[in-house]
């Protein structure tokens, strides 16, 4: 491996790690186009992106747990179908021609951008955080549990979110993210974050943390399948992943100091630039 390639990989790790920590999404979408831009085959880029995302997502989960921005039960509901679907996506990715895979990644980016930019997030009810149990991320079940749904109230840094977790809907989200993750090597955060915000009524920050918690194991299983096909390069993965760990910690800290509207704007710009890199 040349020194120039190593420097490029370290730079990609720092940039995308910061984005993943700040957005809980987008790191993988940037990683694949950038790796292709420096000359790697798209199949290698997909597997390397997945391996890298395992590193940065794990670091992001630790950070968001301390901030109280992860709904752990929902993360588990998302994770189980996601792991199963990731195996199917990885198998299909291995069989697709390189050009077809690049085009499909760019089209997915455009679709997510349109979806996220045109659909409004639902308004959240607010109340004083003192009415909830003390401590960051305090939570409780609201109302009676039903067989396939349960209401939630969570307090995150003084702001209270009310939403209902519908298990079938969450399972569909998890399965979709798992398939996309295995197929495109994008982690899936850029899909799961807008779905949690728009379909389940999450706030941006809690959607970010919960998405990372689900993606860690989903991406791990997808990497295992890619490894069976010989696409995983451990050395390059470490060179991208280690700097990414530093980046994700910085990104998660920045997220707490900026508005949710700004986070959404960065997310949209990120998707547009990534699609342009692959198309042109």
Residues 136, 187, 76: CA angle, nearest 5 degrees: 50
- Percent helix, strand and coil across the chain, each to the nearest 5: 70, 5, 20
Tell me how far apart the alpha carbons of residues 150 and 2 are, in angstroms, rounded to a whole number: 54
E strands within 60-187? 139-142, 149-156, 159-166
39: Cβ contacts below 8 Å, ≥ 6 apart: none
Give the pLDDT band (50/70/90) at residue 71.
confident
Torsion angle defined by CA atoms of residues 194, 41, 89 and 106, in that order, rounded to the nearest 10 degrees: 40
CA 41 to chain centre: 23
Encoded tokens for 204: 């941006």
Give the pLDDT band (50/70/90) at residue 24.
low
Task: Give the pLDDT of residue 130.
Answer: 41
SS3 123: coil
* Closest C-alpha among 142, 138, 124 to residue 67: 138
Q: How far apart are the first and last CA of the chain?
A: 27
CA 215 to chain centre: 6
Q: At what angle do helices 3-23 and 189-199 cross, to 10 degrees?
A: 10
* 230 backbone φψ class: left, alpha, beta (φ>0; ψ -120 to 50): left
Task: Sketch the domain layout of the chain as residue ranges.
Answer: 3-124+165-279
Residues pairing with 164 in the sheet: 151
Mean pLDDT of 110-138: 54
Query: Percent of the chain having pLDDT more than 90?
Result: 4
Inform me whether the pLDDT recorded for 73 exceeds 60.
yes
Encoded tokens for 81: 């179908």
Inform me whether the pLDDT recorded for 189 exceeds 80.
no
Task: Give the pLDDT of residue 154.
Answer: 66
Rounded to two decimals, what is the model's pTM? 0.70
Cβ(32)–Cβ(46) below 8 Å: yes
Tell me how far apart the alpha carbons of residues 193 and 246 are, in angstroms, rounded to a whole number: 22
């Amino acid at each position: 491996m040349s020194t120039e390639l190593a420097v490029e990989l370290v730079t990609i790790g720092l940039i995308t790690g910061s984005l993943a920590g700040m957005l809980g999404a987008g790191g993988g979408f940037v990683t694949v186009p950038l790796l292709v831009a420096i000359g790697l085959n798209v199949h290698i880029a997909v597997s390397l992106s997945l391996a890298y995302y395992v590193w940065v997502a794990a670091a992001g989960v630790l950070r968001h747990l301390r901030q109280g921005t992860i709904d752990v039960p929902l993360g588990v509901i998302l994770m189980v179908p996601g792991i199963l679907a990731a195996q199917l996506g990885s198998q299909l990715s291995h069989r697709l021609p390189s050009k077809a895979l690049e085009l499909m990644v760019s089209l997915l980016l455009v679709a997510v951008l349109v979806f996220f930019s045109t659909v409004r997030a639902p308004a959240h009810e607010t109340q004083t955080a003192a009415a909830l149990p003390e401590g960051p991320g305090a939570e409780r079940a609201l109302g009676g549990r039903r067989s396939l749904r349960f209401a939630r109230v969570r307090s995150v840094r003084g702001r209270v979110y009310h939403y209902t977790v519908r298990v079938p809907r969450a399972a569909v989200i998890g399965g979709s993210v798992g398939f996309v993750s295995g197929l495109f090597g994008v982690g899936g955060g850029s899909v799961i974050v807008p779905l949690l915000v728009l379909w389940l009524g999450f706030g941006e920050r809690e959607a970010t943390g919960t998405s990372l918690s689900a993606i860690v194991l989903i991406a791990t299983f997808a990497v295992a399948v890619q490894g069976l096909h010989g696409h995983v390069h451990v050395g390059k993965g470490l060179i991208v992943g280690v700097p990414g760990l530093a980046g994700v910690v910085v990104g998660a800290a920045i997220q707490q100091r900026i508005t949710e509207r700004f986070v959404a704007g960065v997310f949209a710009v990120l998707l547009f630039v990534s699609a342009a890199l692959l198309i042109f």
